[in-house]
Amino acid sequence: MIRSRPGRPRAESRSAAPCGSDNADSGLYVASVEKAFRVLEALNRAGRPVGLSGLAPLTGFGRSATQRFLFTLRALGYVNQDATTKSYSLAPKMLEFGRAYLSADFIRDQARPFLDAANRESGEMVNLTVLDREDVVYVLRFPSRHVVCVNLAVGSRLPAYCTAPGRAILANLEEDEAKAILEKSLREKKTPHTVTGMAALLRILADVRKRGLCINNQEAFVGDLSIAAPVFGHDGRVLGAVNIAVPTARWTITQAKREFVPIITKAAQQITKALAKQAATASRI
């Protein structure tokens, strides 16, 4: 469970690449490893090749320290440097980690046939997301047959506080855990519709928990309407959420609720049952 710790400094500005430091006061914590990952995360956040002068402010380090980490990461094959521009970028070797995660993710395997069925029935974009700190990460998605206003790839991440799948997950955590995540989140208005106040968000989560699903109307992206339902493990812990996302240019809230709530609720329940069956089978082996 994520808990707030007395006296722990607030998270650093999002201008620097985020790295978890909840255990930084432990004797087992290796600060140099964190710094290396800060450099990798800064390159990831940049989203394009970037030179040393542009990268150093993103890491929160000086030029000299950033350069040393880049040299080491390049020598290990995780960073490339353009011979002409001298700019840095992530190397293809980084893909091995994503591939390994996706291959080992048991939730994706169990969810795939049910998301496929929901996608074929709805004709719209269907996604599976999991919670990672204050964000949700898209780990499986089936695209819409129609034009959509938002098209995210597997591996994309969005803040949990303002997304339908994020709220579906947060609503089913322990209240203290959900509140701690919201407190850590940089709750900014992504659109004119985004709810950011703590009290209002907690009321929304209570309603989502009661209803068993979340409907999000243009709070993460203008023109995007999303309906999400939670997925649970065999022990009752929330493991993720499934959602259908459609553009408001083609769907009103009333139409989307009538058409997609039964589909997404059914998919979430089927995945939950499949995960329980898998756990029961594994326990007998």
Q: Which helix (H) or strand (E) holds 260?
A: helix 253-284
Rounded to whole angstroms, how far apart are CA atoms 158 and 131?
10
| pTM, two decimal places | 0.76
Q: How many other β-carbons are positioned within 10 Å of the β-carbon of residue 66?
A: 23
Tokens of 53: 């002068």
Rounded to whole angstroms, how far apart are CA atoms 112 and 145?
18
Q: Which residues contact 57 (CB under 8 A, 6 or more apart)?
A: 15
Taking only the tens place, the pLDDT of each residue in 44-62 is: 888 899 999 999 999 989 9
Do residues 77 and 92 make contact, with C-beta atoms less than 8 angstroms apart?
A: no
Q: Residue 148: left if φ>0, alpha if ψ -120 to 50, beta else—which one?
A: beta
Do residues 234 and 276 make contact, with C-beta atoms less than 8 angstroms apart?
A: yes
pLDDT reported for residue 3? 38
Tokens of 156: 């994309």
Taking only the tens place, the pLDDT of each residue in 224-270 is: 999 999 999 999 999 999 999 999 999 999 999 999 999 999 999 99
pLDDT reported for residue 22? 65
pLDDT reported for residue 242? 98
Tokens of 164: 């339908």
Q: Which residues of the chain have pLDDT under 70?
A: 1-23, 102-105, 148-149, 283-285
Do residues 198 and 183 make contact, with C-beta atoms less than 8 angstroms apart?
A: yes
Q: Which residues contact 258 (CB under 8 A, 6 or more apart)?
A: none
User: DSSP secondary structure string, 186-223?
Assistant: ----SSTT----HHHHHHHHHHHHHHTSEEEESSSSTT
Helices (H), 22-105: 31-46, 52-59, 63-76, 95-104
What structural domains and CATH numbers belong to the chain?
1-95 (1.10.10.10), 105-284 (3.30.450.40)
